[in-house]
Structure 1
Amino acid sequence: MFGFANGLLLALFAAAAVDFVLAWRRTAAPAAALRTLWQQEHLLFGGWGAGWRLRAGQAAFCLGLALYEFTVVFCNSMAREQWPWLQQQLSPVLDTLMYLAFFAKILLGTRYTWRSLGTAGALYFIARWVYFNGQNIWFLGLAVVLLAAKDVPLGRAMKAFLACGLPTLALVELLHFAGIVAPGATSERDGSFRLMFGYGHPNTFGGIVFGLLLAWVLLRRARLRWLEILAVGGVAVFLYVWPASRSAALCAALLALLLAAAKLLGSRPAGPKAAALVAAPVPLVLAFSLILPLFVVKVGPWSNDVGPAWLERLDSLLTCRISLSWAAYRVLDIKIAGQMLPEWPVLDNIFVYLLYQFGPVLLVLAVVLLTLALYGHARLGRWQEVACLLVVLFYGYMETQVLHITSDPAALLFCGVIFAQPLRRWDFS
């Protein structure tokens, strides 16, 4: 992965150099060449075969997204215990094909201005920088997916996501209930059983279902009917009762409520102040994540033996998210470019996790990107997209699975911000 990360960065620098040489030859003046490159969208490495390259680029992205989904949903299920070759032999091959597909899309199947290429390239450089320290493969995968997502209609991407994810999950459940994969798939925690549905943890299953639910919403968007919104609430009940994946269940319930509000709002765009109010929860949740652990008072030997009483109850509701963050404050150093984290404390809060795994620079960038994405979609009146981003914000408070595109396909809504496009170009149809 280090070789791929470096190779993509060097290829983007090479593409920019070729861009400049070709533009200079056409205009015969360096200043004119720079203006043209900054303002006009163009394919990298010349405009040859533009039509088929753009079509092939979209197909390559959908192929890469489907391979990503299959690798996570099947190869990372408990099927890996039954058939070790899934992880040892098949997954590396699928990962290579996936990254090659995204590589081809980024370099040969996408049009850029130098403004968009420079912004996205700088963000990728930072992602690569912190990846080399934190070595979280899911994070690098997310960064590459977002780079490759430009110019791919959101509906087409979600169709590929669902076309692979739904039958693959159905296959895992069939193997599970047939007793082939993880036949004794229950785990006992605090005296209660939680069904794992063929995965190593109930929250893994919950995250996969939650991601498929988000993909369906992003495919349907303004076409969602009241019955479909009710079905989203039904999924929330299922996740809460059977796998007892509380984080996914609560967020699915919140999604149903926000989609109902979006249905009532229609496509009415928000003004600047209203859009800013919609985006305000991002810095608020960040502040809540980082400040609340400062009020923890240790009252016993275990990590969740904390006080005062109100904070202990809140920590219990959030299954130790607050007390584990408090522990991180005391045992971990903050490093500007991140670090590899020990197994304990387990940081399920994405804001605290980003702070320690990837450093404060990336944390600030992630908060800015999400805030701007929420603001932009609210200004455009795309309330279903706003609902998905808000729900992902609260899901991230409880789970770091938002770094997996399989649990967070709404991350594709960041593209307009990542590529510094004006709002009128945020076309995801």
Structure 2
Amino acid sequence: MFGFANALLLALFAAAALDFVFAWRHNGTPAAALRSLWQQEHLLFGNWKAAARLRLGQYAFCLGLAIYEFIVVFCNSMAREQWPWLQTRLSPVLDVVMYLALFAKILLGTRYNWRSLGLAGALYFIARWVYFNGQNIWFLGLVVVLLAAKDVPLPRAMKAFLGCGVPTLALVEVLHFAGILAPGATSERNGSFRLMFGYGHPNTFGGIVFGLVLAWVLLRRARMRWVELAAVAAVGIFLLVGPASRSSALCALLLAVLLALAKVLGPKPGNRLFAGLSAALVPLVGAVSLILPLFVVKIGPWANDIGPAWLKRLDDLLTCRISLSWAAYRVYDIKIAGQMLYEWPSIDNIFVYLLYQFGPVLLLLAACLMMVALYGYARQGHWQEVACLVVILLYGYMETQVLHITSDPAALLLCGAIFALPPSRWNTPEGLTTE
């Protein structure tokens, strides 16, 4: 993975250098070349076969996204215990094919001007920098997918996501209930049984199902009907009573409520105040995430033996998210470029997790991108997108699975902010294209 990360960075530098050479030859002077590169979108390495490259680039992205979904949903299910070769032989090959497809899309099938390329390239450099310290492959995979998402219609991406994810999850469930996958149908935690549904943890199953629900919402968006909203709520209830995956269940139920509000509001654009309040949810949730553990008073040997009583009740509701964050404060030092984390404490709050795994610089950048996206979609009146991003913010408070595109396809909504595109171009009829 280090080789892939370095190769993409070097290829982007090489493309920028060739860009300048081509533009200089075409425009006559360095100043004119820079003005052209800054303003005009173009393919890297020359505009040869532009139409074919853009079309094939979309296919390459969809292929990479589908492979990503298959690796997580099938190869990381309990099928890996039944067939170890899924992890030792198949997954490494699929990883290579996936990254080659996404890299081909980034380098050969995407249009950039230097403003977009410069911002996205700088973000990728920082991501690669912290990846080398934290070595979280899910994070690097998310970054590469977001870079490759430009010029791909969002509906097309979601169709590829659902087209692979739904049948693959169905296959896992058939194998699970047929008794082929290990372990058995239940797991015991603190005296209560939770259905596993073919995965190593109920929250893994919950996150995959929640990701498919989000993908359906992003595919339908303003066309969502009331019966579909009821189905989203029904999935939330199922996740609550089946695998007892509280985080994904609560988020699915909240998503149904917010989508109902969005349907009532209609496509009316939001004013600056409401858009600002939407964006302010990011620092608000971040502040709560980082400050609440400071109120913890340790009163016993176990991780969740804390006080005061109100904080203990809230910690129990969030299944120890607060007490484990408190433990992380005492175990880790904050490092500017992140670090590898121990198995304990398990940090499931994305704000605390980003702070320690990837450092404060990346935490601040991620928060800014989320704020820009929320503000832009709210100003345009795209309330379904706002609903998805708000729910993901809450989901991130309880799960770091928001770094997995399989649980957070709404991350693709950040693409416009990552490439510094004006909000009016985030939701064209073609999706995230730049035409």
TM-score (norm 1): 0.99
What pairs with 1:371-390 in structure 2 (closer than 5 Å)? 371-390=371-390
Q: Over residues 244-281 of structure 1, what are the superposed CA-to-partner deviations in whole Å (9 max), with x where a residue is unaligned?
A: 00000000000000000000111111111110011211
Q: Distance in 2 between matches of 1:211 and 1:166?
A: 10
What pairs with 1:26-425 in structure 2 (closer than 5 Å)? 26-182=26-182, 184-425=184-425
| Contact residue 335 and residue 356 of structure 2 kept, 8 A | yes
1:391 partner amino acid: V
Q: Distance in 2 between matches of 1:91 and 1:411?
A: 23
Q: Distance in 2 between matches of 1:424 and 1:328?
A: 41
Q: Distance in 2 between matches of 1:197 and 1:230?
A: 23
Deviation at 1:40, TM superposition (A): 0.3
Aligned residues: 429
1:367 partner amino acid: A
Q: Over residues 101-125 of structure 1, what are the superposed CA-to-partner deviations in whole Å (9 max), with x where a residue is unaligned?
A: 0000000000000000000000000
174-183 vs 39-48, which deviates more?
174-183
Q: Distance in 1 between matches of 2:353 and 2:278?
A: 24
Q: Distance in 2 between matches of 1:183 and 1:3?
A: 36
Deviation at 1:185, TM superposition (A): 2.6
2:275 partner amino acid: A
2:240 partner amino acid: Y
What's the counterpart of residue 10 of structure 1? 10
Aligned partner of residue 280 in structure 1, secondary structure: helix
Deviation at 1:427, TM superposition (A): 2.7
Q: Over residues 264-316 of structure 1, what are the superposed CA-to-partner deviations in whole Å (9 max), with x where a residue is unaligned?
A: 11111111111001121111000000000000000011111000011011111
| Contact residue 120 and residue 418 of structure 2 kept, 8 A | yes
| Contact residue 177 and residue 183 of structure 1 kept, 8 A | no
Q: Distance in 2 between matches of 1:405 and 1:287?
A: 25
Instruction: Tell me the percent identity.
Output: 80
Deviation at 1:182, TM superposition (A): 2.0
Q: Distance in 1 between matches of 2:185 and 2:352?
A: 31
| Contact residue 194 and residue 243 of structure 1 kept, 8 A | yes
Q: Distance in 1 between matches of 2:204 and 2:183?
A: 17
| Contact residue 348 and residue 400 of structure 1 kept, 8 A | yes
Q: Over residues 122-160 of structure 1, what are the superposed CA-to-partner deviations in whole Å (9 max), with x where a residue is unaligned?
A: 000000000000000000000000000001000000000
1:398 partner amino acid: M
| Contact residue 334 and residue 355 of structure 1 kept, 8 A | yes
Deviation at 1:192, TM superposition (A): 1.2
1:109 partner amino acid: G
Q: Distance in 1 between matches of 2:426 and 2:306?
A: 46
Deviation at 1:183, TM superposition (A): 5.2
Q: Distance in 2 between matches of 1:367 and 1:83?
A: 40
1:130 partner amino acid: V
Q: Distance in 1 between matches of 2:229 and 2:335?
A: 43
| Contact residue 78 and residue 183 of structure 2 kept, 8 A | no
Off by >4 Å, runs of 4+ in structure 1: none
Q: Unaligned 5+ residue runs, structure 1? A: none
1:279 partner amino acid: A
1:239 partner amino acid: L
1:243 partner amino acid: P
Aligned partner of residue 47 in structure 2, secondary structure: coil
Aligned partner of residue 188 in structure 1, secondary structure: strand
CA RMSD of aligned residues (A): 0.6
TM-score (norm 2): 0.98
Q: Unaligned 5+ residue runs, structure 2? A: none
Q: Distance in 2 between matches of 1:31 and 1:387?
A: 44
